[in-house]
Structure 1
Amino acid sequence: MKTVTPLSFLAALTLGAPASAQDAAVSPWSKAAYSSMRLIAGATAPSGKQRVGVEITMSPGFKTYWRSPGDAGVPPVFDWSGSENVGGLDVRWPTPERFDDGAGSGIGYVGDVVVPVSVQPIDPTRPVTVVLKLDYAVCDKICVPAKGEARLWLEPGVTSVTSPRLEQFEARIPHAVKLGAADDRLSILEVTHSDAAVKLVLKAPEGGSVDDVFVEGAGMWSFGRAMLMPQPDGTVAAKLRIVERPKGATGPTPLIITVRGKPQSVETRLELDIGNAKP
């Protein structure tokens, strides 16, 4: 990453860098045919990391995609290479939903979304300039490629900035959990597999619900729509067909399992020995 020089600092000012923390809260909109994108800021976290959101709004009826987009979707591609004083970024995805997109079952967001990003400064005492070039797709009956560019100047240690939009979607980030029962949240009790499917046993607390399950594997792993089957003991059995697997896959396979539901979606990461199973 580049360091901040007097020239780059002046350039940031000419591109709308703020004179106050309140002015720093949003970048201008970057408009495409059926959507717009911008960056929004939150207060600096106690850890010193900067909180940023990638906000996308879409025309009525349009959707955009999650990191694992489903049958035929296109995941967004983030290019942060123009950023300054940034040592690392962690994109933290809100829980998606499943929808029909004309090419099958897509996974993503309808109407609008804010994708929270945690930014680690190289030097926490100095300003951060976050620069994003985003390639993404928005779909109604057909998919349309879209591009957006945005820049946001962040002053260090600012705790007075508030962003209800960012906070709303931060609250939709799945909670990281381990296998096992809990009384106050969705529980992933068991994960197994057959030759052709991944199987889960799930449980929601009183008043909660299990609404969908998404399974991800690195590379060419692909999993179908979850079949949810309520059981007499109050649990929910879920089955996801293995649609595609990497050629020659063997041994334990790292998986990310996201359970959408109430009161809060959850996510777990584990390894399952499905590499040797036949489809």
Structure 2
Amino acid sequence: MKRIALTILLALMPALAATLAAAQSYDDVVEAQILPGWRLPNGDHMAALHLKLAPGWKTYWRSPGDAGIPPQFDWGGAQNMAAIGVYWPAPVVFWQSGMRSVGYKDSVILPLKIRVKTPGRDARLGGVIDIGICKDVCLPHRIRVSAELSAGQTKPDPAIAAAMADVPFGASDAGVTHVACRITPRADGMGLRVAIDMPPGTGREETVIEAADPNLWIADPETGWQGGQLIAETRVTHMSGGAFALDRSGLRITVLGGRMPVDIRGCAG
């Protein structure tokens, strides 16, 4: 199963990255920096991770598809921070050798909303990020970043603001009126059919479906319009191969390739 292979790859990423680095450096493929951003009136801080990729290379979204490697963040070098949230601008769907992946090419800015422990004081954002990079082959790559975040900087960064504007719309803002999920038993897990009532799209829509339980694997859906609804059909299995329950309210459905990207949380039975 592709998902099991991906899990093993993630577990081996640090050692594999070190081995690859010894053979060939890929530091010139990815340039990473922290945009220090600005302090918000409520004491939180907006910053961002800016990744610049060499021509022809891409990296992956939070849910990269069967052919991708999900990013892993370790903010162990952070100071005066209580929590860090990552915002994900709408990605692009890639097809290569008949397999789908979801991610970014050229450049991406990932906004970071930081809850500061002591709002009136400066903070430091630092850590290690493991990402996948892909051109003709796909490889794990480790980057290290750090930056000082000044409490006195209150002017917004237009680049971060633009990236926030690219985050998918919520369901109500996109005109979604109803989402229904139908589950059917299968010998190899569960079948899942999602029917979305929303304004007509482009006919090029792709969907990504994520479960709240990280042990569940959801295959890349088959997506298309039927009777005025956007339909996504897929298969769900548990990493253990055993029986499981699927919480419909914990499903997250992202619609890409349409007139606007849409982020839908939960669905009815």
| Same fold flag (TM > 0.5) | yes
- Give ranges in structure 2 of 5+ residues lacking alignment: 1-25
Contact 2:38 2:151 in 1 (8 A): no
Change (3 A) 1:125 1:84: same
Structure 1 residue 129: Cα displacement: 0.8
Aligned to 1:237: 231
Structure 1 residue 127: Cα displacement: 0.4
Residue 214 of structure 1 aligns with an amino acid whose one-letter code is: V
2:208 aligned with 1:211:
no
**Residue by residue, what CA displacement relative to the aligned partner does 1:68-100 show, whole Å, maximum 9, x if unpaired?**
221132111211111110111111222222212
Aligned to 2:6: none
Aligned to 1:262: 259
Aligned to 1:51: 46
Which aligned pairs between 1:101-140 and structure 2 lie closer than 5 A? 101-102=96-97, 104-140=99-135
Structure 1 residue 243: Cα displacement: 5.8
**Separation of aligned partners in 2, 1:190 and 1:245:** 25
Higher share in helix: 2
Change (3 A) 1:94 1:271: farther
**Separation of aligned partners in 2, 1:249 and 1:52:** 42
**Separation of aligned partners in 2, 1:183 and 1:131:** 35
Aligned to 1:192: 182
Aligned to 2:87: 92
User: Structure 1 vs Structure 2: percent identity of aligned residues?
Assistant: 25
Change (3 A) 1:264 1:121: same
Contact 1:186 1:262 in 2 (8 A): no
Residue 192 of structure 1 aligns with an amino acid whose one-letter code is: R
Contact 2:209 2:251 in 1 (8 A): yes
Change (3 A) 1:187 1:62: farther
Change (3 A) 1:147 1:244: same
- Give ranges in structure 1 of 5+ residues lacking alignment: 1-30, 273-279
Contact 1:193 1:199 in 2 (8 A): yes
Residue 162 of structure 2 aligns with an amino acid whose one-letter code is: Q
Which of these two proteins has the greater Rg computed from alpha carbons?
1
Contact 1:101 1:139 in 2 (8 A): no
Contact 1:68 1:216 in 2 (8 A): yes
**Separation of aligned partners in 2, 1:271 and 1:67:** 24
Q: TM-score, normalised by structure 1?
A: 0.74
Contact 2:36 2:148 in 1 (8 A): no
Structure 1 residue 271: Cα displacement: 8.7
Contact 2:197 2:230 in 1 (8 A): yes
**Separation of aligned partners in 2, 1:39 and 1:211:** 32
Contact 1:102 1:142 in 2 (8 A): no
Change (3 A) 1:145 1:225: closer
**Residue by residue, what CA displacement relative to the aligned partner does 1:42-63 show, whole Å, maximum 9, x if unpaired?**
3323332111111111122211
Structure 1 residue 124: Cα displacement: 0.2
The residue matched to 2:163 in structure 1 has which SS? helix
**Separation of aligned partners in 2, 1:184 and 1:271:** 18
Q: TM-score, normalised by structure 2?
A: 0.76
Between the two proteins, the alignment pairs up a number of residues equal to 236
Aligned to 1:60: 55
Structure 1 residue 154: Cα displacement: 1.3
Structure 1 residue 119: Cα displacement: 0.5
Aligned to 2:137: 142
**Separation of aligned partners in 2, 1:207 and 1:51:** 33
